[in-house]
Amino acid sequence: MPVIGPDQLFPKGDPVDFDDTPEEAAVRSEARRFLDAHATRRADHDSSHLGNHRPASIAADREHRARAAAWQRTKLDGGWGAPSWPIEHGGRGLSPHLAALFAEEEAHYDVSARYFQVGLAMVGPTLMAHGSPEQLERFVSPLLRGEEMWCQLFSEPGAGSDLAGLATRAVADGDEYIVSGQKVWTTSAHLAEFGILLARTDPDVPKHRGISAFLVDMSSPGIEVRPLRQIDGAVHFNEVFFDEVRVPAGALLGGFNAGWGVALTMLNFERSAIGGGGMIEWPQIMNLARERGAGPIDRQDLARLWTRLELLRFLGYRVRTAITRGDPLGPESSVMKLAVSAFYEDVGNVLMGLQGPNGTLWSDSDPNRGVYTGVFLSQWAPRIGGGTDQVQRNIIGDRVLELPAEPRPDKTEVFKNLPRS
C-alpha cells in the first residue's frame, strides 16, 4: 500500500475553492426547485426533526419507514432517487460530489431520508462493484424504489473492529450453503427484507482469505432477529441468529472466499456516508443557547464548537475539491471521520450543559422532547460505525505518519488454529 505523507495529504499552497462552480450552482438550484415543490422547508433553528430517526417503538419505526419509502419514490420520479448511481441502474450519473449537493439541500426539509441509507449508499454501490448480472437485475430496482430495505450482517460478539475474525460459518451443501452463527449491532435488521452477510467458508486459510459474502433473505427459515433497545428507548440495532439457514449458491456475492474484498468495498462506502452526514446544525445549537441563556463557560464552549465546525467545513471543502479533480481518496476520509467523531462528542456534552436539569428529562416530560439529550446519547455512533476511532488512527499512522505496522501474527496464521475466546 503506498504511503501518503503529510505534504501529500495537506499540500502547501494547494488552492481550495469554497464557492460553487457553475455546474454545482446549477445542480443545487435544480435540487432546491424540486424540494420546494415536493417538501416543506424547516426553519433554520428548528430542531424538532432530530428525534425523528429514533422512534420509541418498532410500530413507530415501521410508520417512519413507510414515509421514507414514499419519499424515496417521489425522489425517484423526480430524478433524484440515487443521483450518483449510473444512468443504466436508474441514477443520474452525477459525481459523488455533485450528488452530495442534493443531500445538503435535502437536510433542510421535513422529509424522512435516512431509512434507506444502507441500501442506497452502501449496498447498491457494492452490488454494482461485485454483483452478477442476475443479482443486479433482481435487487437494484426494488432497492431504488424503496420497496426492499437492507441491513449489513457483519459484526459479531467476537468480531467487531477485528472483523476478519468472524466465526459465522457457511458450509456448502449441493447448490446451497448452510449458515450458522450470530451477528450483532445490525442496524434495522428488524425492518429489512435482505442483508449482505459475511460468513466463513474456509477455516483452513488465514482469516482474511476464508470469508465469503452472501445476499440473504431475512425471512428465511432459521433466522431470528432480536431487537436491542437502547438507553434512549429506540431500537436501531439487533442481534441476528442463524440456525442452519439454507442460502442458495446463487446468493454468493463476488465469488467464493472473496468476501473480504466485498467487505472493504462496503466499509469504504459506509465510512464516506458517516463522514458526510450530521445530526445537528449550528443554528439549532444557538437556538438552545439563546433559549437557556449562555453564561461565561457556555460562551467558551460555544466558541470552541464553532471553531471545530469551521475546521470540519474546510476539511470537507478539501475532500470535495479532491473528488472534483478525480483524485483518489486515501486517509483523508479517516481524518474527516475522526474530526466528525470528536465534534459530536463535544457537541453532545455542550448541549447537555446548556439544558441544565432538563438534560436529565426525556420524552414528554422534556420541553425539547429529548431531542438534545438524544444527540448526547448518540455521540458514540460515529466513533464506532465504519471503523472505530482507533482503526482510523491506525490508518493515519500507517499511511500518513509512516509508523511501523503493528505486529499481527494472526494475519498469516490459519484461522482454525487461532485461539478463540
Length of the chain: 421
**Contact of 407 with 395, CB cutoff 8 Å:** no
Nearest to 214 by CA among 170, 150, 272: 170
**Contact of 334 with 395, CB cutoff 8 Å:** yes
Say how far apart CA 403 and CA 394 lie, in whole Å.
9
Q: Which residues, 6 or more positions from 71, have their beta carbon under 8 angstroms from its beta carbon?
A: 39, 111, 112, 113, 146
Confirm whether 105 is a catalytic residue: no
| Annotated catalytic residue, options 270, 281, 291, 402 | 270
Q: DSSP E strands: which ranges in 128-281?
A: 150-153, 169-173, 176-183, 194-200, 211-217, 223-229, 235-248, 252-253
DSSP letter, residue 242 = E
Nearest to 196 by CA among 116, 266, 113: 266
C-alpha R_g of the chain: 22
The residues that are catalytic are: 270
